[in-house]
């Protein structure tokens, strides 16, 4: 079974530039999560979806961050006008609500550096 895949693996931007991250969850997983992990900290949830619906985006900085999952499979997280404080690893995870929904499977992450 293929795991969660993410691309790109690395991104380096100047402040003010935009960037998109892409996530392909495990096949059949209906729930998809995006986390931000600053250096030397634990992952912090930004947003999560059940199928194509946003369940919770309360921690997503809505002025510059957006996330979509239009067909309930792959997802894209976008940062408009990146800031140095956005420097972090962005992790995608998926789970299956019908199974052990407490277990989330993480991708390798995208390391973002904003200069």
Partner 1 sequence: SQWGEENLQALSIQEGEDVTMNCSYKTYTTVVQWYRQKSGKGPAQLILIRSNEREKRSGRLRATLDTSSQSSSLSITGTLATDTAVYFCATTSSGQKLVFGQGTILKVYL
Of 22, 35, 72, 27, nearest to 50 (Cα)? 72
31 binds partner 1 (CB under 8 A): yes
1 binds partner 1 (CB under 8 A): no
The minimum distance between CB 15 and partner 1, in angstroms, equals: 25
Q: Which is nearer to partner 1, 17 or 87 (CB)?
A: 87
By the criterion CB under 8 A, which residues form the site for partner 1?
4, 31, 33, 40-45, 48, 55-56, 91, 93, 95, 97, 100-109
């Amino acid at each position: 079974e293929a795991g969660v895949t993410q691309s790109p693996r690395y991104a380096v931007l100047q402040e003010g530039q935009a960037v998109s991250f892409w996530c392909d969850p495990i096949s059949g997983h209906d729930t998809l999560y995006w986390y931000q992990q600053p250096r030397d900290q634990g992952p912090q949830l930004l947003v999560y979806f059940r199928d194509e619906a946003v369940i919770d985006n309360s921690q997503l900085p809505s002025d510059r961050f957006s996330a979509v999952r239009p067909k309930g499979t792959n997802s894209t997280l976008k940062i408009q006008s990146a800031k140095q404080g956005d420097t972090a690893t962005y992790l995608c995870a998926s789970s299956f609500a019908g199974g052990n929904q407490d277990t989330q499977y993480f991708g390798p992450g995208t390391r973002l550096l904003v200069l």
